[in-house]
Amino acid sequence: SLPGTGEHPAAPVYVDGLKTVTLKGDHIAAEFQAIVDDYVRSHYGDGAGSA
């Protein structure tokens, strides 16, 4: 749900079913994108391999 009046946005992040962090503040989207990018890179490579 969206934060109400006086509440600050917070987004719990789960990776492989485990809570890893709760993002807070004005940069939640950018921080979440960095977590997704790191996950993809660590599990599927950086895309530099041959097809």
Rounded to whole angstroms, the Cα distance separating 10 from 42 reads: 25
| pLDDT at residue 50, rounded to an integer | 57
User: What is the residue-wise DSSP string for 1-51?
Assistant: ----TTPPPEEEEEETTEEEEEEESTTHHHHHHHHHHHHHHHHH--S-S--
pLDDT digits (tens, 9 = 90+) for 13-36: 999 999 999 999 999 999 999 999
9: pLDDT strictly greater than 70: yes
pTM score: 0.76
Q: Which amino acid is at 26?
A: D
Strands 10-15 and 18-24: antiparallel
